[in-house]
Homo-oligomer: A and B are copies of this chain.
Amino acid sequence: MKYLVNGSLKQMVQELLMSGNDRKLIEFLHELQPFDISTLLTEFEEPDQLKILALTEPDIAAETLEHLDYDEQYRLLDHSPDEVTRSILASMSDDAVADLVMAIHPRQAQEILRRVPKEDLAGIRLLMTYPDDSAGGIMSLDYIAVREDWNVSRVINHFRKVGGKATVTNYVYVVDPQGRLAGVTSLKEVLLSNPDTLVSDIMYTKIVSVPVDAHQEEAAKLLSRYDFVALPVTDNDGRLVGVIAVDDILDVIEEEDTEDIHKLGGSQPLDEPYMSSSLFDLVKKRIGWLLVLFIAEGFTGNILRSYEDILAQVVALTFFIPLLTDTGGNSGSQASTLVIRAMALGEVTLKDLAKILWKELRIGAVLGLIMGMVGFVFSWVIGGSQAVALTVSITLVVILVVSSTIGAVLPLIGTRFGVDPAVFSAPLISTIVDATGLLVYFAVASRVLKLG
């Protein structure tokens, strides 16, 4: 009863399909959620898929398709009987059709648009004009709008007429004769009010809305900040043009967080899930940063070559190179990850730069002292000489202070110049810190060991 998607579900549908008892199968499908039907579909071959789809109510079938890849959506719609395709398309929301049509080949798109009810075409064409990742790109056109001089009973009647297609039913939007958003009230408020109450008496007029050309992340931030279930979208003249529902925002948040995480891992964000990304795609998304970092890291080669004499004199210094550069990289990546996430959540901005710098300076110092002590003992045991151990431990203190502050501050400074903070990933920070660490190491070494 609780978690529906499992083997037995597939088995039951399989038995119903083989028995040929369509009525029973219809009843069974009627009780399933669109997501479950979409999972089911992936477990059958095409003839069964088409049968299941045809026996599902069109509005449920429409939602089912939205859980599948665009290629899958097209294939199923294209191979279904014409009347099934038409009724599913008629039940799909305009934004779902617009997304599908933009994702497939233009010739295939034509095939789809030919079967869409004529009255939906204008809306779909409008939605197709907004970029994918803009507020307009994720909004729906199916909201409920009323006038402020209506009374509650008229609103309820209006709802009974148009509410069936609405994707967002929590809020009732109030528009003026020019279509400008004038207020908002909730269906709950409407139901709890006296039938004669005027809309103007139960509406909020200071509305939080998002411009149609804003980035989808902006919409996500507003929705999650205000705990709304939906957000109205307005054009430049303040006209209500659509509404963004919170479940679309869940997808946006997932998408944006995934992008950030990929960048933090030192890869270009993938356009598709990892498993369905092609080998070529994955190589393309990864090789760029690898090369850039390789070239940047090349500096360390130059630094080491310029200290060739010292290295030849005290080979033991070599033993600690990976240890020192890695520790710097680790503490730098800790600091940058914490700050980058805080920036993404809006907890930290450029104006906190000085405060963060001061905080990380102190944290770096404390971490450095602890690591310096541990490092001294450790390198004494491995390196054999007290002077080398002293060099390592002094270097550790400096490296931890430098890497913590650089790691925390670079993402902040980057935004000042329009660089996405998530680019200051662990790999980039390590690379920057490595060169610094080696310079410190040899500067300390030449003094402590009286070399050079």
Contacts and interface: CB of A to CB of B under 8 A. Distances in A.
Interface of A: 1-4, 31-35, 63, 156, 159-160, 163-164, 166, 169-170, 186-188, 191-192, 204-211, 223-229, 234, 238, 246-247, 249-251, 253-254, 257-258, 260-262, 264-267, 270, 273-275, 279, 282-283, 286-287, 289-291, 293-295, 297-298, 300-302, 304-305, 308, 311-312, 315-316, 318-323, 325-327, 329-331, 333-334, 336-342, 345, 347-348, 352, 355, 359, 362-363, 366-367, 370-371, 374-375, 378-379, 382-383, 425-427, 430-431, 434, 438
Contacts of A253: 250, 253-254
A246 B168 CA distance: 14
Contacts of A204: 31
B321 A322 contact: yes
Nearest to A265: B337
Nearest to A251: B224
A297 B247 CA distance: 45
Given A35-B226, A286-B363, A338 B293 contact: no
Count chain B CB atoms within 10 A of each CB in A192, A251, A260 and give the residue with the most: A192
Contact of A342 (B273, B304, B334, B339): B273
Contact of A302 (B205, B347, B382): B382
Contacts of A326: 293, 297, 325, 329, 427, 430-431, 434
A420 B266 CA distance: 21
Copies in the complex: 2
A294 B186 CA distance: 57
Contacts of A206: 1, 4, 31-33
B262 A211 contact: no
Contacts of A434: 322, 326
A202 to B, nearest CB: 12
A227 B67 CA distance: 10
5 contacts: A266-B334, A290-B371, A295-B378, A301-B378, A312-B315
A188 B210 contact: no
B333 A265 contact: yes
A351 to B, nearest CB: 12
Contacts of A341: 258, 261-262, 265, 274
